[in-house]
Amino acid sequence: MRIELEVWRQDGPAVEGRFETHVVDDATPEMSLLELLDRLNDQIAAAGGEPVQFESDCREGACGACGVTVDDVPHGPLPRTPSCRQHLRAFGDVRRLRIEPLRSAAFPVVRDLVVDRSALDRLIEAGGHVDIMTGTAPDADDVLVGHDDAESALDFAACIGCGACVAACPNGAAHLFTGAKLAHLALLPHGKLERGRRAKAMVEVLETEFGPCGTYGACVDVCPAGIPLAAVAAVHRERLRGAFRGRAD
Mean pLDDT of 106-113: 98
Contact yes or no for 173/212 (Cβ under 8 A): yes
- Rounded to whole angstroms, the Cα distance separating 187 from 139 reads 19
Global confidence as pTM: 0.92
Q: What band does 245 get if pLDDT is binned at 50, 70 and 90?
A: confident
Report how far apart the first and last C-alpha atoms of the chain are (Å, whole number): 60
Return the percentage of the chain with pLDDT > 70, whole number.
97
Residues forming beta bridges with residue 18, ordered by sequence position: 9
**pLDDT tens across 110-157, in order?**
999 999 999 999 999 999 988 877 677 777 677 788 999 999 999 999
Average pLDDT of the chain is: 93
Q: What pLDDT, on a 0 to 100 scale, did the predictor assign at position 13?
A: 94
- Rounded to whole angstroms, the Cα distance separating 196 from 228 reads 22
What are the b/e assignments for 69-92, b being 16+ CB within 10 Å? bbeebbbbebeebbbbbbbbebbe
Q: What pLDDT, on a 0 to 100 scale, did the predictor assign at position 249?
A: 56
Contact yes or no for 210/166 (Cβ under 8 A): yes
Phi, psi of 85 (to 5 degrees): -110, 10
**pLDDT tens across 172-200, in order?**
999 999 999 999 999 998 888 889 999 99
Place domain 3-111 in its CATH homologous superfamily: Beta-grasp domain (3.10.20.30)
State whether CATH 1.10.1060.10 applies to domain 117-245: yes
For the chain, domain boundaries: 3-111, 117-245
3-state secondary structure labels for all residues of 192-240: HCCHHHHHHHHHHHHHHHCCCCCCCCHHHHHCCCCCCCHHHHHHHHHHH
pLDDT of residue 248 exceeding 60, the answer is: no
HSE-up (13 A, CA, CB side) for residue 92? 5
CA nearest to 185, candidates 206, 159, 204? 159
